[in-house]
Amino acid sequence: MAATNKSALTRVNRRDMAARGLYKATDGSWRQADANKGVPLLYRLKDGERWTLLDRDRAMVVHPTEPPKIVYPDGRVEEIGSKTDP
């Protein structure tokens, strides 16, 4: 059984992590990648944001404290307003 060396473990700090973003792959699927991978991103995800596929042509980005956004393959981003906003 191998022993774990604590000095060999590395901690990942949020500042050390590369920015993530969404892009549309050549096969038509939506994918997530690090910004430093050379892929042109349609949308750069902010800290705490998650995304899901709405349909083949749209992805929705959800942030815990901001209204959701719709991302289109041409790079357009539309914010969805809340019905409770005055």
Those residues of the chain that have pLDDT short of 50 are: 1, 4-16
Q: What is the pLDDT of residue 76?
A: 94
- Is the separation of the CB atoms in 85 and 79 below 8 Å? no
Give residue 21's pLDDT: 94
Instruction: Check residue 36 and give its pLDDT.
Output: 86
Domain ranges of the chain: 18-79
Task: State residue 59 phi and psi, 5-degree precision.
Answer: -120, 150
pLDDT of res. 82: 67
Residue 12: its pLDDT value, please? 43
